[in-house]
Amino acid sequence: MRIADDPGVQAFLKEACRKIRSRRAREEIRDELVGHLEDSVAAKLQAGIGESEAIAQALAEIGSPRELAGELAVAHRPLFLQWPFLAAALGLVSVIGVLALTHLANTVFERVQRRYQESIAGIQDRFLRDQALLRAEPVFAFAGSQRDAGARLNLLLPWEGAVGFSQSERDSAASLAIPEALRRKLQSPDWLEATADSSAFETAWLGELSGFDHWDLFRSGPLKTYLEQNPDAAFWILPVPDYAVLRDWAKIRLLKGIHDGNVLPALREVRHLARLVYSNELLVSDMIAVSMLRDEAAAYRSAVSKRLLSASDWKPLSEEFLIRAKRALWGHKHFLNLWADPDLMKRLFDGRTATVGMCSAFSENLSGLIMHRAFLSTSLPWESDLSARFELLDSLIRQSRGHCRMSEHFLSLWREPERSRSWLKPANFLMSGLTWQEFLFVYLPRVPVFRRWAWAELMAPAIPNYLTGPYRSNLLPGEARPPEPDSP
C-alpha cells in the first residue's frame, strides 16, 4: 500500500505540519516527509523487515512529531513574522510616526504663531497712536533715579504675601489702617460723598513724597528680604505692596482737600503719587496709577462743581486719555515677544524711544519668556531655530538698562534659565505631590518636537483674550472692535 495512506503516517504528518501557516509550504513539507518515509521504509523492506515494523521504525527515526512541528513552524515562518522584517517594519513605523508628529506639532506651533501675529496686527496701529499721545504726558515720563521713595513707602505700606516682617515694620504698616466702614465707602462709586469721614486723617506723609523721583520695590523692605532668602523665587509668588490701601489714602487726601477747601495741593500730591506708583515698573502698579489719575480727575470735577476751584487752575487727564493709557500699558508687554515684528520690537524697546510702559513690559514679560525658553530656545532635530529671536531679546534688554531699573532678580534668571526649574516646586502652587504644572514645564521641555506642540496648546486659548482684550473692552467713541484672530 502507499505509505501516505497508512493511519499512523497520516497522524504523524498532520501533527508535524499543523503549525505551518502557509498552505503551500505545508503541502510541500508534507510531500517531502512522505518521500523521506517511502525511501526509509523501502530500505527496511529490502532488509527483510515487515511493512508495519518498517513504517514504525521510519517514523521513530524522524522523531517526535510535536517537536518537529515547532522546528518546522520556525523554519517556515511567514516573512512578516520574521525578526529582520519586524525590526524593519517597526523602524519604518517609528520614522513615519515621528514625521507625522513633527508635521502636526510644527503645524500647531506655526498656527499659534500666526494667530499671535494676527492679534498684534489688529491692535498695532491703535497702540502706536495711543503711545504718541501718552509720551507727551509728564506723568508717564521716565522716572529719575536719584531719590528713591522705597526707603519710606516699602516700610510704611502693608504687603500682600510678605513674610519676615519685623515688629517695627508691622507697627509701621498698621499706622495706615483705615476703619472697615470707611474703606467700603472709599471703594464704592460714590466715594466722593465720604468727605466728612476722611477729614480727621493725617496725610502729611503724602506731601513729603514730593521729594522723591521714583519708587523702587526691590532695594529695601519686604521684597528685598524675601529675595535674599529665596533668590530663585517665582514671579507670581513675590510679595507686592497692598496698592488698594495706597489708593484709599490717595482718595482720603483728595477728600481732605475738598473738605478743607484747599484742593490744589491734594491734586498735586495724588498726581505725584501716581507717578511714583507708575515707576514701580509692574503692570499692576501701572493699572493702579491709572486708577489714581481717574480718582484725581473725579475729585477735580467735584471741586469745580462746588466752586472750590476754578476749572483753569488744574488740568486733569481726560477720560479718553485714561482709556488710552490703560489699554496701551496693558498691551505693551505683548509687543515684547518672540512672534512680534523684530523692527517694531526694536522701535519700542531699544531704550531710545522711551515708550510708555516699556519698563513694566520688560519686568512682566521676562518671567514669561524665561518659562518659554525651556520650550523654545534650543533647536532640536526638526524644530525651527528661534535663537536669533532670543538674541534680539538679549540685545533689547541690555539697551533698556539705561531707562529701566529691571530687578537683578529677573535679569539673573534670564541669564540662567535653568534656575527657573525651581519655580515648578509644588509649594509654588500651594499643592503637594507632582502637579500638572510641574509635569508640563519640567518634563515636556525635554521631549523634542512634542514640547513645541505642548507650548502651542498652552498658549492658544490665552492669546485672543489676554493679548487684545484691553483693546476690545476699552473702546473710544467711534472705534470699532479689533478683528478676532482665526480660531486655533
* 73-127 pLDDT tens trace: 666 565 444 456 556 667 777 778 777 777 777 777 777 778 777 888 888 889 9
**Candidate ranges 123-137, 328-342, 351-365; pick with highest mean pLDDT:** 123-137
341 and 275 both lie in a single domain: no
**Is 431 inside a domain boundary?**
yes
| Sign (positive or negative) of CA dihedral 200, 206, 208, 210 | negative
**Is 325 inside a domain boundary?**
no
186 and 91 both lie in a single domain: no
CA–CA gap between residue 155 and residue 172 (Å, rounded): 7
251 and 305 both lie in a single domain: yes
237 and 358 both lie in a single domain: no
124 and 145 both lie in a single domain: no
Percent of the chain exceeding pLDDT 70 equals 78
Mean pLDDT value of segment 352-376: 78
Residue 148 main-chain phi, psi, to 5 deg? -90, 125
Domain end among 257, 281, 316? 316
The DSSP code for 318 is P
The DSSP code for 220 is S
**Is 219 inside a domain boundary?**
yes
Contact 214, 276 (CB under 8 A): yes
CA–CA gap between residue 289 and residue 140 (Å, rounded): 10
**Residue 73 identity:** A
Q: Which residue has the cell 539697551?
A: 399
Domain end among 31, 50, 77? 77
Domain end among 77, 92, 117? 77
| Helix, strand, coil share of the chain (percent; to 5) | 70, 0, 30
**Is 156 inside a domain boundary?**
yes
Lowest pLDDT segment from 59-73, 210-224, 251-265, 306-320? 59-73
Give the 3-state secondary structure of 430-459: CCCCCCHHHHHHHHHHHCCCHHHHHHHHHH
Provide the b/e sequence for 374-397 (b: ≥16 CB within 10 Å): bbbbeeeeebeebeebbebbeebb
Q: What pLDDT was estimated at residue 173?
A: 56
CA–CA gap between residue 62 and residue 69 (Å, rounded): 12
Confidence of residue 287 (pLDDT cuts 50, 70, 90): very high
**Is 377 inside a domain boundary?**
yes
Residue 155 main-chain phi, psi, to 5 deg? -95, -20
| Sign (positive or negative) of CA dihedral 454, 455, 458, 464 | negative
DSSP letter for each residue of 329-371: HHHHGGGSSTTS-HHHHHHHHSSSS--TTHHHHHHHHHHHHHH
**Is 189 inside a domain boundary?**
yes
pLDDT value at 348 more than 60: yes
In the chain, the number of structural domains is 3
R_g of the chain computed on alpha carbons: 39
Confidence of residue 316 (pLDDT cuts 50, 70, 90): very high
201 and 125 both lie in a single domain: no
CA–CA gap between residue 105 and residue 383 (Å, rounded): 9
* Count of beta carbons in the 10 Å neighbourhood of residue 6: 19
Residue 214 main-chain phi, psi, to 5 deg? -160, 170
240 and 273 both lie in a single domain: yes
340 and 393 both lie in a single domain: yes
pLDDT value at 59 more than 50: yes
Mean pLDDT value of segment 46-65: 79
Contact 252, 186 (CB under 8 A): yes
243 and 144 both lie in a single domain: yes
CA–CA gap between residue 66 and residue 155 (Å, rounded): 90
Alpha-carbon distances, residue 301 vs 182, 253, 306, 308, 322 (angstroms): 22, 15, 9, 10, 15
Q: Which residue has the higher pLDDT, 350 or 224?
A: 224
pLDDT value at 439 more than 70: no
Residue 430's region, left for phi above 0, alpha for psi from -120 to 50, else beta, is: left
Q: 98 is in which domain, residue-wise?
A: 78-137+331-488
178 and 56 both lie in a single domain: no
Please write down the long-range contacts of 15-24, taking CB distance under 8 Å and 24 or more positions apart. Answer: 15/65, 15/66, 15/69, 16/65, 16/68, 16/69, 16/72, 17/69, 17/72, 18/69, 19/69, 19/70, 19/72, 19/73, 20/72, 20/73, 20/76, 21/73, 21/76, 21/77, 21/78, 22/76, 22/78
The DSSP code for 160 is E
Q: Kind and range of the H or E element at 7?
A: helix 7-17
Q: What pLDDT was estimated at residue 276?
A: 96
Confidence of residue 273 (pLDDT cuts 50, 70, 90): very high
**Is 20 inside a domain boundary?**
yes
Lowest pLDDT segment from 192-206, 265-279, 415-429? 415-429
Q: What pLDDT was estimated at residue 170?
A: 55
The DSSP code for 48 is T
Residues 138-175 have pLDDT tens digits of 888 877 778 999 989 998 888 887 555 555 555 555 67
Q: What pLDDT was estimated at residue 79?
A: 47
Average pLDDT over all residues of the chain: 80
115 and 162 both lie in a single domain: no
**Is 322 inside a domain boundary?**
no
Query: What are the grid coordinates assigned to 420, written together?
Result: 527657573
Q: What pLDDT was estimated at residue 187?
A: 92
126 and 241 both lie in a single domain: no
